[in-house]
């Protein structure tokens, strides 16, 4: 029983990380149909910038805020300098651009920061919380709470604000959105900025658990993307459920079958789900109205 509970806690820890990273994909996809493969680099930038600013003597909260601001700036720049000039290209071409941007950001980080691993101090200390014979680190709960807060904010934003509706409209039909007076360029700008900020927050919250380095983004983005696909890309709640599910599958496979197969089993289940439900668990099928 204690064993089972430990696997659940491990699944929650890893799943919350995937969920938080996966959330970053949602908004850009909603606004522009682009899957932003530089999302992992936003996560890296958030963590690494905080580490280096803190090392330079800034108090941690200030360092974190500046890191989020810097990453938001990078997100905006990515849109203005790389995506916007290529507007009108097919989504595949735009996705290629984001892959290029991710390589560029990783390379720059290698020069600006360094090539070593770093950590951030956890918010509530390193002492594990004991529960029913199993343990979980307080930081795992912080990551989980962070994911929950972002989901609620995103949902409120999309469902309850005019700006949010404008994002949805832009995604549905850019031309029509422009015709009714929505500045679609601004909307996509905005979605890149907010996604970058979400990535940075994720990077800062998970750094005490995963540790961080210039190339931490690649694999995190892959897992986060898998989580978002599993849950239904574009759905914030879906990204969280997908992330937690992925984390649980990995933890249980490692615990009950073999740690050798945990990634294989996780990806196999994703394949099966996507074959049966191409839109993911919570994805909405696109409805073309005439």
Partner 1 sequence: MRALQHITLAASLGLVTLFGAGHQASAQIKIGSILAVTGPASFLGDPEKKTLQIYVDEINAKGGVNGQKLELTVYDDAANANKARTFATRLVEEDKVVAVIGPSTTGSTLAIMPVFEDAHIPLISLAGAVQIIRPVRKWVFKTPHTDTMACEKIFADLKRRHLTQVALISGTGGFGKSMSSECHKVAGKVGIKIMTEETYGPRDSDMTPQLTKIRDTPGVQAVVNPGFGQGPAIVTRNYRQVGIKVPLYESHGVCSKQYIKLAGAAADGVRLPCAALLIADKLPANDPQKPVVVNYARTFQKATGQPVSTFGGHAYDGLMILVDAMKRAKSSDPAKVRDAIEQTKGYIGTGGIVNMSPTDHLGLTLSAFHMLEIKGGDWTLVPGT
User: Is the Cβ–Cβ distance between 212 and 203 less than 8 Å?
Assistant: yes
Residue 216 Cβ, how far from partner 1 at the closest point, in Å? 8
- Is 183 one of the binding residues for partner 1 (CB under 8 A)? no
CA distance 17 to 52: 22
Q: Which of 148, 211, 274, 281 binds partner 1 (CB under 8 A)?
A: 211
- Give least dist CB 172 to partner 1, A: 37
Indicate whether 17 belongs to the interface with partner 1 (CB under 8 A): yes
Least gap, CB of 105 to partner 1 (angstroms)? 14
Residues whose CB is less than 8 angstroms from the CB of residue 53 and which lie 6 or more positions away in sequence, other chains included: 62, 63, 66, 67
**Under 8 Å between Cβ of 166 and 187:** yes
- Is 6 a binder of partner 1 (CB under 8 A)? yes
The residue count for binding partner 1 (CB under 8 A) is: 35
Cα separation of 8 and 254, whole Å? Answer: 12
Nearer to partner 1, 168 or 222 (CB): 222
Q: At how many degrees (to 10) do helices 184-210 and 2-32 cross?
A: 160
- C-alpha span between 29 and 154 (Å, rounded): 13
CA distances for 52 relative to 63, 113, 117, 168, 213, angstroms: 8, 7, 12, 37, 11
Tokens standing for 160?
């309850």
129 forms bridges with which residues in the sheet?
136
Determine the interface stretch with partner 1 among 92-100, 108-116, 179-187, 278-286 (rule: CB under 8 A): 108-116
Nearest-approach distance from CB 282 to partner 1, in angstroms: 25
Under the criterion CB under 8 A, does residue 244 sit at the interface with partner 1? no
Minimum Å distance from CB 13 to partner 1? Answer: 5
Residue 162 sits in the site that holds partner 1 (CB under 8 A)? no
- Binder among 59, 84, 91, 117 for partner 1 (CB under 8 A): 117
Q: Does residue 131 belong to the site contacting partner 1 (CB under 8 A)?
A: no
131 secondary structure, DSSP code: E
Which residues in this chain contact partner 1 in the complex, by CB under 8 A?
3, 6-7, 9-10, 13-14, 17, 110, 115-119, 126, 128, 135, 137, 206, 209-211, 213, 215-216, 219-220, 251-252, 254-255, 259-260, 262-263
């Amino acid at each position: 029983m204690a064993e089972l509970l430990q696997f659940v806690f491990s699944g929650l820890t890893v799943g919350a990380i995937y969920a938080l990273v996966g959330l970053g994909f949602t908004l850009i996809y909603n606004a522009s149909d682009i899957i932003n493969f530089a999302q992992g680099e936003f996560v890296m930038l958030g963590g690494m910038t905080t580490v280096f600013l803190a090392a330079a003597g800034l108090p941690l909260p200030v360092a974190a805020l500046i890191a989020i601001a810097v990453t938001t700036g990078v997100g905006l720049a990515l849109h203005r300098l790389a995506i916007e000039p290529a507007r009108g290209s097919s989504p595949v071409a735009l996705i290629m651009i984001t892959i290029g941007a991710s390589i560029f950001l990783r390379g720059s980080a290698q020069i600006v920061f360094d090539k070593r691993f770093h950590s951030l101090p956890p918010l509530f200390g390193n002492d594990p919380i004991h529960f029913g014979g199993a343990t979980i680190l307080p930081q795992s709960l912080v990551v989980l709470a962070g994911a929950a807060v972002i989901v609620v904010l995103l949902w409120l934003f999309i469902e309850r604000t005019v700006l949010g509706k404008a994002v949805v409209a832009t995604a549905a039909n850019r031309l029509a959105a422009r015709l009714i007076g929505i500045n679609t360029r601004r909307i996509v700008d905005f979605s890149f900025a907010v996604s970058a900020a979400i990535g940075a927050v994720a990077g800062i919250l998970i750094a005490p658990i995963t540790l961080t380095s210039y190339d931490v983004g690649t694999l995190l983005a892959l897992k986060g993307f898998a989580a978002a696909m599993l849950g239904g890309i574009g759905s914030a709640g879906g990204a969280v459920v997908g992330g937690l599910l992925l984390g649980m599958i990995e933890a249980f496979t490692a615990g009950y079958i073999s740690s050798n197969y945990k990634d294989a089993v996780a990806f196999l289940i994703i394949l099966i789900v996507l074959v049966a439900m191409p839109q993911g668990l919570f994805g909405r099928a696109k409805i073309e109205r005439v």
